[in-house]
């Protein structure tokens, strides 16, 4: 007997029939003798609709009210799943973030979980064998007592945080694919499912755009050494033996991984914008005069490329920001023009970042060089490059994203046979 967290994403709870299917998955684990906490997302498309509604009312809406609106999707699915469970004879109770409580920071729309009190859930497991059905994505900030949300995809983070709080043996993430693949299987049909992936590699994949897990959930898994198992909710619940290992991907510590490839996977993101500041003076303090105001405006700068000055007087500086921050970033640089001193700004929003990830790169040279040659052979122009110990990224025209991903996937031997 053990203790499990089972998290179900939007497509897994997309309608009443799918919610009944989830209830049967939960029943299987309860019947096997486990204590179960379930974390649910809103029905597929619901959060997008709620976000749209806020924008429709006012593009400059109050973040506290945005959270009050968008947190409602999860409240509905938690209640419905509790009813579906009760209907098939399973004791269940729904919980919203404030009821547990899941305490978060006060950064509305992108709050971080600070603390979860798992005591009441544990008591109910023991005394009533009651399944806890928890609304994902939401919490409460102690400062004001108001509802917060954790950023898009945040139910993954709710699930791993709950798993740590109740000392679960494992956190199962049920989704619409049966595991983590070498790249998005919807884009590259030859992508291969990984049996295991190290937290470090998964962290990079997630932060470079693989949306199968929210970045913060992987961080929490790593900190608490909580095994995360990504699997499909689309397998028939009754066909699964709760004591066998189903198809899926275990995210675990590096020591538990047997086979070690140099490249683990490829991620991509079209949510990028490139800004080039032309003919800035090549003198100390210039980078600070550009990136200081951007940091103050809470804009995350990712890739940075500065040319070596040719004439010793001026140079160009290129960087990327999330597409959603592009306007604000441009405005921020324009507002600081007299302080920075530059000739003009060039920018592009139809760009994409493709990242090759693998902790095996630490001990292998020349991994990136191979990619540059392969992309050149396909006539794909590289606008910017960044590298770190276990990954490198290239910025390219968005139109070439799929071609670049497929080319690199084959190049590094990731295609399935
Ligand atoms: P959920 O609603 O269950 O949270 P998401 O849509 O957030 O599901 O995440 C699952 C999706 O992530 C998949 O449908 C897939 O298209 C995408 N994805 C991107 N990269 C990967 C990858 N490397 N492995 C698996 N899925 C990936
Ligand atoms: N429903 C939220 C979203 O769509 C949270 C989640 O699904 O993880 O972002
Ligand atoms: Mg998700």
Task: Using pLDDT thresholds of 50, 70 and 90, give the confidence band for residue 257.
Answer: confident
Q: Which residues surround ligand 3, an ion (CB under 5 A)?
A: 9, 153
Helix (H) or strand (E) holding 348: strand 344-357
Domains in the chain, CATH or no CATH each? 3-255 (3.40.1160.10), 266-411 (3.30.2130.10)
In contact, 214 and 10? CB cutoff 8 Å: no
Task: Using pLDDT thresholds of 50, 70 and 90, give the confidence band for residue 252.
Answer: very high
Predicted pLDDT at 310: 78
Is residue 175 within 6 Å of ligand 1 at its C-beta? yes
Predicted pLDDT at 156: 98
| Distance between Cα 9 and ligand 3 center (Å) | 6
Q: Measured in whole angstroms, how far is the alpha carbon of residue 11 from the centre of its chain?
A: 16
Task: Using pLDDT thresholds of 50, 70 and 90, give the confidence band for residue 312.
Answer: confident
Is residue 47 within 6 Å of ligand 2 at its C-beta? yes
In this structure, which ligand is nearest to the CA of 206?
A: 1
Q: Which atom of ligand 2 is nearest to the CA of 74?
A: 1
Q: Lowest-confidence range among 7-11, 91-95, 266-270, 281-285?
A: 281-285
DSSP code for 247 = S
In contact, 201 and 209? CB cutoff 8 Å: no
The residue whose CA is least distant from atom 27 of ligand 1 is 184
CA 355 to CA 385: how far, in whole Å? Answer: 10
Q: Which atom of ligand 1 is nearest to the CA of 12?
A: 3
pTM of the model as a whole: 0.94
Predicted pLDDT at 330: 97
Task: Using pLDDT thresholds of 50, 70 and 90, give the confidence band for residue 282.
Answer: confident
H helices of 342-400, where? 367-377
Is residue 211 within 6 Å of ligand 1 at its C-beta? yes
Is residue 9 within 6 Å of ligand 1 at its C-beta? yes
């Amino acid at each position: 007997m053990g203790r499990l967290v089972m998290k179900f994403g939007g497509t897994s709870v997309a309608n009443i029939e799918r919610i009944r299917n989830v209830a049967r998955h939960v029943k299987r684990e309860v019947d096997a003798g486990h204590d179960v906490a379930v974390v649910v997302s809103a029905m597929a498309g619901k959060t997008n609709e709620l976000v749209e509604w806020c924008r429709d009312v006012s593009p400059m809406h109050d973040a506290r009210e945005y959270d009050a609106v968008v947190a409602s999707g999860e409240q509905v699915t938690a209640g419905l799943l509790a009813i579906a469970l009760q209907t098939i004879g399973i004791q269940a109770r729904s919980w919203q973030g404030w009821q547990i409580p899941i305490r978060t920071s006060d950064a509305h729309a992108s709050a971080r979980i600070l603390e979860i009190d798992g005591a009441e859930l544990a008591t109910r497991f023991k005394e009533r064998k009651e399944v806890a059905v928890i609304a994902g994505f939401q919490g409460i900030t102690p400062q004001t007592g108001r509802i917060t949300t954790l950023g898009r995809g945040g139910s993954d983070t709710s699930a791993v945080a709950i798993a740590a709080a109740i000392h679960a043996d494992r956190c199962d993430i049920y989704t619409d694919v049966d595991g983590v693949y070498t790249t998005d299987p919807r884009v590259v049909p030859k992508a291969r499912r990984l049996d295991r992936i190290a937290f470090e590699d998964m962290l990079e994949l997630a932060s470079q755009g693989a949306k199968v897990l929210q970045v913060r959930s992987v961080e929490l898994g790593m900190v608490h050494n909580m095994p995360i198992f990504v699997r499909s909710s689309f397998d028939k619940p009754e066909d699964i033996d709760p004591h066998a290992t189903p198809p899926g991907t275990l995210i675990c510590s590096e020591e538990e991984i047997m086979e070690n490839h140099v490249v683990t996977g490829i991620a991509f993101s079209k949510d990028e914008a490139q800004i080039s500041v032309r003919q800035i003076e090549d003198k100390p303090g210039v980078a600070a005069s550009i990136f200081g105001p951007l940091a103050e405006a809470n804009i995350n700068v990712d890739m940075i490329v500065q040319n070596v000055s040719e004439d010793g007087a001026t140079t160009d500086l290129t960087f990327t920001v999330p597409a959603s921050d592009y306007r604000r970033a441009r405005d921020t640089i324009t507002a600081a023009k007299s302080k920075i001193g530059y000739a003009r700004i060039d920018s592009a929003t139809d760009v994409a970042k493709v990242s090759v990830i693998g902790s095996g790169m630490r001990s292998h040279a020349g991994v990136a060089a191979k990619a540059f040659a392969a992309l050149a052979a396909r006539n794909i122009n590289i606008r910017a490059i960044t590298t770190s110990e276990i990954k490198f990224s290239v910025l390219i025209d968005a139109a070439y994203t799929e071609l670049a991903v497929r080319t690199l996937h084959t190049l590094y031997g990731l295609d399935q046979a």
